[in-house]
Structure 1
Amino acid sequence: MLQPSPPRKRRGRLARSGAASVALLAVAGYLAVQYVTGGAGAPGCEVASGEGGGTTYEFTPEQAVNAATITAVGTARKLPERAVTIALATALQESALRNLDHGDKDSLGLFQQRPSQGWGKREEIMDPAYSAGLFYDHLVEIPGYLDLPLTDAAQRVQRSAFPDAYAKHEPDAELLAAALTGRSAATLTCDGRPGSTPEKGPDAVRAALVRDFGQTVLRPAGAEVADGGDTGAGAPRVAGASDGRTVTVPVSGGGSGAEPTAGRAAEPRGWQLAHWAVANASSLHIQRVAYAGREWTAGNTDSKWSPTDAGGTKGAERAAGPVRITSTR
């Protein structure tokens, strides 16, 4: 008489089914963690063209921080937007805007610079501000670099085995450069989900501003540093620079945290600082950024810049004032 199929086969099928369910749950859990923490697996940030047309580029909070640093270092040297675009396209190709601690042979960092080839010590190259500055040092030495095709200018600095690889990143680099230099207003947004780093506050924001823009970033034009020296974060103490959780960053001619001057339009410098703050929102636990009558708030469903008053954005921009960056604590 035929015997029924051994139960162990059914158990095997059940076991495989259970294992698959566990795997799916694990993947779902990982994705959930990535969403909550703003991890590298979730884009989290977007930059749009200021000229309309629907052109956008999505990227991660980590990439946003590094792109903002590269841009700030370039503009602090008073380099034109084209130089920033070249630097951003180069970093997109070399590291995907990630500060890598590995690479081909001894290549490191955002630009995959090599200690053995005279680019500096390992710890120096792993400092994004240092590596960006070193890239610009070499770029400006190239005669007529602003008039060269982007891939040629980048290759003359990098001397890559793939000299034509930089060109494909030019459109995305142009979008990033327009927003992060402040030429395109209110075009960069992020979800602003804090990562797993310890809680941070205004001191961390001030220190990061000084790191990327230099010691005078918190000092209004013509102002003197107040008595008491530097803050514990290494930033200059400036009258009106911080009020509770809010760091007030003066825009050129904006006064020491004063009320907006009537008739003064929003400036690219102001939008650069505002976009920098949004790009650093997850890493510095920034809750809100306000400038020129518009406000970005972390955790909003659409993460967009919204008018801050009933008068509308155009009226508010005529009195831009300083940039206000509010931390979560």
Structure 2
Amino acid sequence: MPRNVSPARRHTRRSRLLRVTAAFGVLAALGGYLTVKYVSGSRVTEGCTVKSADGSPGQGRTYRLSPEQASNAATISAVGTSRGMPERAVTIALATALQESALRNIDHGDRDSLGLFQQRPSQGWGTEKQILDPVYSAGEFYRHLAEVPGYSRLPLTVAAQRVQRSGFPQAYAKHEPDAALLAAALTGRTPAALNCTPPRTTAAKADAAKVRAELVRDFGKDVLPAERPSARRDGKGTAGASATATATAARTVSVPVRAARASESDAPSRRGWELAHWAVARSEALHLDEVAYADRVWRAGDGWRTVRTDGTDGKGPGTSEVRMGLAP
């Protein structure tokens, strides 16, 4: 004879069944999301990657980092090269910031340590506001590094420790391979090595003036040409063409390629890739969706591609300038 089941127990069983069903539904939805996001191809994976010189897919070394980390790394590199510091100095700075803050501009740390390099106001590194400015903090790091005799020939841990006075000086060593990979790309030695897929999570409007201002902040005022007065309209029926050209120019920031270190045989090309990689690394913060240099074009979500000779991929700017296209 079947046993009577109380209403309370029947309710409990139904609730358990509903929870199990809901859990399976969540897992199915998650599985579908992951399939679309990862199985369909790496192009939709948000974040940044930097590859070694021989780094074709599946070969060489690859380092992955977030857009925030890439943006900070690009600023650290730009500040160094604008001061005439060699690639080795940039590697030391990046390894130090990887250890101290994981390349994040944090507002806390041991005692009063702050920022990318965990510099301390109480130890004369600057005010809190100054230290939390990546351009300032990177500049202070390089200023102290330049005072270390023969720093470029020292082991990275020794050079970094002479600046930082850390309680764990050997910790910098584990970051040297990743820092060297980043430095090779960000100083322009390795072409088309840095790629980012920005998430585009904000609705902020792209602003060419902001892009120019950030270029000057990171590289110095000589990175851009002096502004020329607007061309006078000739009144010969060219108003429509002028308006189109003006609209296009408003969505593009063109940066001339002038060698930062004229003594290098590959200086112009290296400078071009330095600027191009800076733009890609900062594409999320500055809302850039296209960067072009030489015969390569980077587009958000697609990565670097070689411009086709038939022109169907658009025209490359050559090696005389880097073009940065703003997102619509």
**In the alignment, structure 1 residue 4 sits paired with structure 2 residue 5:** yes
**Amino acid aligned to 1:325:** M
**2:257–2:268 CA contact under 8 A, matched in 1:** no
- Matched residues in 2 for 1:28 and 1:160: separation? 45
Instruction: Answer yes or no: is the 8 Å Cα contact 1:180–1:272 preserved in 2.
Output: yes
Q: Offset of 1:159 from its aligned partner?
A: 1.4
What secondary structure is seen at the aligned counterpart in 2 of 1:322? Answer: strand
Does structure 1 conserve the Cα–Cα contact (< 8 Å) formed by 2:198 and 2:283?
A: yes
* Superposed displacement of residue 202, structure 1: 1.3
Q: What secondary structure is seen at the aligned counterpart in 2 of 1:116?
A: helix
Task: Choose between structure 1 and 2: higher helix proportion.
Answer: 2
Residue in structure 2 matched with residue 256 of structure 1 by the alignment: none
* Residue in structure 1 matched with residue 142 of structure 2 by the alignment: 136
Question: Relative to structure 1, is the Cα distance of residues 159 and 277 closer, same or farther in structure 2, using a 3 angstrom cutoff?
Answer: same
Partners in 2 of 1:194 and 1:147 — Cα distance? 42
Shift in Å at residue 307 of structure 1? 2.6
- Separation in 1, partners of 2:176, 2:98: 9
| TM-score, normalised with respect to structure 2 | 0.79
**Bigger Rg, structure 1 or 2:** 2
Q: Give the C-alpha shift of residue 205 in structure 1.
A: 1.1
Give the number of aligned pairs.
Answer: 289
User: Structure 2: how far apart are the matches of 1:286 and 1:225?
Assistant: 22
Cα distance change, pair 141–226 in 1 and its aligned pair in 2 (3 A)? same
Structure 2: distance between partners of 1:247 and 1:195: 23
1:279 corresponds, among 267, 271, 281, to 281
State the Cα distance separating 1:299 from its structure 2 match: 2.0
Task: Select which of 298, 301, 325 maps to 2:300.
Answer: 298
TM-score relative to the length of structure 1: 0.79
Deviations 1:58-79 (A, max 9, x none): 1111011000000000000010
Partners of 1:328 and 1:86 in 2: CA distance? 34
In structure 2, how many angstroms separate the alpha carbons of the residues matched to 1:88 and 1:170? Answer: 8
Aligned partner of 2:326: which letter? S
Deviations 1:153-174 (A, max 9, x none): 1112111121111111111101
**AA matched with 1:187:** A
Instruction: State the identity as a percent.
Output: 58
User: Matched residues in 2 for 1:137 and 1:197: separation?
Assistant: 38
**Equivalents in 2 of 1:119, 1:29: separation in Å?**
50
Q: Which stretches in structure 1 are left out of the alignment for 5+ residues?
A: 36-41, 229-239, 254-263
Q: Does 1:159 align with 2:165?
A: yes
State the secondary structure of the residue aligned to 1:90. helix
Q: Which residue of 1 aligns with 2:257?
A: 251
Q: Specify every segment of 5 or more residues in structure 2 that has no aligned partner in the other structure, as ranges.
A: 39-44, 231-245, 260-265
- How many angstroms apart in 1 are the aligned matches of 2:73 and 2:84? 17
Q: Secondary structure, in 3 states, of the residue corresponding to 2:170? A: coil
Shift of 1:125: 0.8
